[in-house]
Amino acid sequence: MTASLPRKLEPFAVPGGLRGRLSDVPLPEILQHLRDSKATGILSVVSGEARKSVYLRVGRVVFASSNLPNDRLGEILLREGKITVEEYEASIKAISKGKRQGRVLVEMGALSPKDLWEGVQHYIREVVHSVFQWPDGEFHYEHSEQPTREKITVDLDIPELIVAGIRKVDAAGPIQRHYPEGALVLERVPDTTVAGLEAYESYVLSQIDGERSVLDLCQESEIGDQETLKTLYAFTSAGLVRGKGRKVYALDQDFVPEDTLHSVVGSFNQNYGLVFRHMVQEVGPIAENVLEKYLGGLRQGRPEIFGGVKLQKDGTLEPELLERNLSRLPEEDRRWRLVDALNELLYAELLAVKRTLGSEHEAAIVKAIRER
């Protein structure tokens, strides 16, 4: 490898490669490192009885294999409607005579040579993308000068594979824990592109300008918070975008008390109540829906703090639910994680005021908060 090992991957370094669990290091991060380091070798992943391997040469995917019957080339061609059941069954019989299924299908006239090469490429993509669906599994990357002796190989770009693989994942599933924080400001990485983006993905990418935070991008997106977060995660994983810094909040935290978590929540709740009353006075009952939408974005981006939390009738948050969520975090992390998250929500609510009522209303609320 020619690139230094990222700090996050250092605990998983072993002689000649990497070894660990996908729950600790997501597949996109492993693949992107192998791409950046121009790796040549074999990445093997195992979950239960399933074993799949991705072969790389100079940081690009050239082949993939799987021990699952449903992942065989013939099975995939049959599912895609490229061959008939009769052709599939005839090719299976010929395999027993020592011939490869792809060659048999070409000799039978079921596939053209061009179809075979395209079929193999589709097969490799399917094998790699299927691993993106795994919630966990063991991985082992081993450097190898000659990673495959397959006669039919491909040359696939890893960022494109990452974006396409994440595209197929359930946005509400385990992938959520990897979503970027709402306050993170994203910028494009110069001179990077990915082929095959969907129209909605290209739109989200076009909105990343080095000024908008993840929360801003979610609120302006037309595809919903979860799908936007998933798309942004795909872009960061593929090296298309990167974090530039955190959004500067409109307020400092001088009003935050130093004692119990309950007091911290109470202090922020006074501000949430102030924002809520101002919004209700100006726009009526719709204020609750507007503010709840912004909280909803944070529930997706920070489930460890806001999971299950909703606005109460006065615009405040229920302290017991927040403290229940915090109890799952290390004790030394609870206060700063709570203050950071609650401050992000306050910023989001002020942003809602600005967009709904105008900058003068936002300024009036900020002044009231600072004076209380």
Per-residue pLDDT of the chain in tens (372 residues, 90 and over written 9): 545 788 889 999 999 999 999 999 999 999 999 999 999 999 999 999 999 999 999 999 999 999 998 888 888 888 888 889 998 888 888 776 667 888 888 988 988 999 888 888 999 999 999 999 998 999 999 999 877 777 788 899 999 999 999 999 998 888 888 888 777 899 999 999 999 999 999 999 999 999 888 878 887 888 988 899 899 999 999 999 999 887 655 555 555 556 678 888 888 999 999 999 999 999 998 999 999 988 988 888 888 999 999 999 999 999 889 989 998 888 888 888 888 889 889 988 988 888 888 878 887 888 888 777
Question: What are the structural domains, with CATH classification, of the chain?
Answer: 7-156 (no CATH), 163-246 (1.10.10), 261-371 (no CATH)
Alpha helices in the chain (DSSP H): 27-36, 73-79, 85-95, 101-108, 113-131, 158-167, 199-206, 214-220, 225-237, 261-283, 286-301, 303-306, 319-326, 331-357, 359-371
The 3-state DSSP class for residue 188 equals strand
Q: Residues, the chain, total?
A: 372
Position of tokens 């492993």? 30
User: Can you spell out the DSSP letters for 304-327?
Assistant: HHHTT--B-TTS-B-HHHHHHHHT
Helix (H, G, I), strand (E, B) or coil at 17: strand
The β-bridge relationship of strands 13-14 and 138-143 is unpaired
Distance (Å, whole) CA 346 – CA 144: 52
* Parallel, antiparallel or unpaired: strands 13-14 and 17-21: antiparallel
Q: Tell me the β-bridge partners of 242.
A: 187
pLDDT at 192: 93
Q: Which of these, 43, 47, 51, 55, lies nearest to 120 by C-alpha position?
A: 55
C-alpha 88/C-alpha 104 separation (Å) is 10
SS3 130: helix
Q: Please state the pTM of the whole predicted model.
A: 0.69
pLDDT for residue 255: 52
Among 315, 319, 278, 274, CA closest to 295? 315
Is residue 41 within 8 Å of 142, Cβ to Cβ?
Answer: yes
CA distance 39 to 185: 30
How much is the pLDDT for 33? Answer: 95
CA atoms within 13 A on the CB side of 315: 26
pLDDT in the model for residue 257: 56
**Whole-angstrom Cα distance, residue 185 to residue 211?**
6
Determine the pLDDT at residue 254.
55
